[in-house]
Chain A
Amino acid sequence: MEIVSAISLWFIPVMIAFILIYGTYKKVPTYESFVEGGKEGIKMAVSIMPFLVGMMVAIAVFRASGALDVMVGWIRPSLEMVGIPAEIVPLALIRPISGTAALGITSDLIGVHGPDSFIGTLAATLQGSTDTTFYVLTVYFGAVGIKKMGDALKVGLLADAVAIITAIIVVTFMF
């Protein structure tokens, strides 16, 4: 585990050093290249804005109205029937929709049940092993102007479902 955290700490600095040394060695005008590339970043951030505002307002309205809670309440019994613990249900349903909301629920579950409890471990695994599908879709497709998403949303949500089920099975076995 020591090695793992060391790698994550050293990864970015080593990568930066490597890119700079290699670029200098290949006689790339490093600073000018950096500035040129950086300009694109500003354009990108601005072009994501409307996509994010649209999506995040919709999610915020849905959540604040209480509709999300009611929906979770409806789906909960059938999920419990297949062995998904009740405490984890809201997290499982919100994880693909809102990353910040999911993070809030995860911290809450870990706080209430303890970080090393079954629920706490399950919440942490769930949070770490899937990504916010809606966010990835909005940002990635939004930034480059993809309007027809095709099967992307379906594929993403199905993959999330598999990830959630896998997390439950894995944590149940490890506990």
Chain B
Amino acid sequence: MVNYIWVVMILIGLGFAMVNGTMAEVNEAVFSGAKEAITLSIGLISILVFWLGMMRIAEDSGLLSKLSTLFKPLISKLFPEVPSNHPAMGYILSNMIANMFGLGNAATPLGIKAMEELKELNGGKNEASRSMITFLAINTASITLIPTTVIAIRMNYDSANPTDIVGPTLVATAVSAVAAILIDRFFYYRRSKKG
């Protein structure tokens, strides 16, 4: 499906530019888009190296598996296919905690690492397993306690109380996270019915 979405998005854009006379903008977009992507990945290197280094210490010292035992009851319900003492659990948990505190930068490396572990659990196949889809659903709904970026923008524009946004965000994020899990379950049962 990604293949189609990708091609359709580019072709519609190109077709539109021909009719609309926005060719110059599109030409620029090709290069600026590519450049932005590389800048982003390079920007990620520093954070990836630091957090994966830190997390390796946490893994080697057994901290990660301690953490997963602590939250086992909750997480094993969400990820029934992951053995409770598997390192994947620890990474999933640390990713969720980092997200909750609005630390997107710390969350990304942990999320990727969790995916890697989940892939291994799935026999290294290149298709998404049930647990991977659940993990993605939780991540895109992003359970946030402190939306740091948004608070910063509100400060910039002289909000009377920048952190007021925490309340509504918390409610919205909690509801959408529950919804994401339910939607994920629904699709899983539909898949398993089809066999």
Contacts and interface: CB of A to CB of B under 8 A. Distances in A.
A162 interface: yes
B51 interface: yes
Contacts of B144: 128-129
B6 A42 contact: no
Nearest to B142: A131
B157 A61 contact: no
Contacts of B140: 96, 130-133, 136-137, 156, 159-160
A30 B53 CA distance: 9
A106 B168 contact: no
Given A45-B44, A144-B116, A110 B154 contact: yes
Nearest to A37: B56
A8 B147 CA distance: 10
Interface string B146-182: 1111110110111111111111110111011001100
Interface of B is mostly: helix
B174 to A, nearest CB: 9
Contacts of B183: 155, 158-159, 162
Given A37-B55, A170-B172, A130 B20 contact: no
A152 B136 contact: yes
B115 A67 contact: no
- Mostly, the A contact residues are helix
B133 A151 contact: yes
Contacts of B171: 166, 170
Contact of B38 (A49, A103, A124): A49
Given A61-B33, A64-B22, A67-B12, A155 B137 contact: yes
B141 A60 contact: no
Give 10 closest A-B pairs by Cβ, nearest first. A37-B56, A128-B147, A60-B33, A41-B48, A163-B176, A115-B159, A148-B127, A64-B29, A159-B180, A38-B53
Interface of A: 1, 4-5, 7-8, 11-12, 15-16, 19-20, 22-23, 25-26, 28, 30, 33-42, 44-46, 48-49, 52-67, 70, 96, 100, 103, 106-107, 110-111, 114-116, 120-121, 124-133, 136-137, 139-141, 143-156, 158-160, 162-163, 166-167, 170-171, 174
Interface of B: 1-2, 5-6, 9-10, 12-14, 16-17, 20, 22, 25-26, 28-30, 32-34, 36-38, 40-42, 44-45, 47-63, 101-103, 106, 108-109, 111-113, 115-116, 119, 126-128, 132-133, 136-137, 139-142, 144-151, 153-154, 156-169, 171-173, 175-176, 179-180, 183-184, 187-188, 191
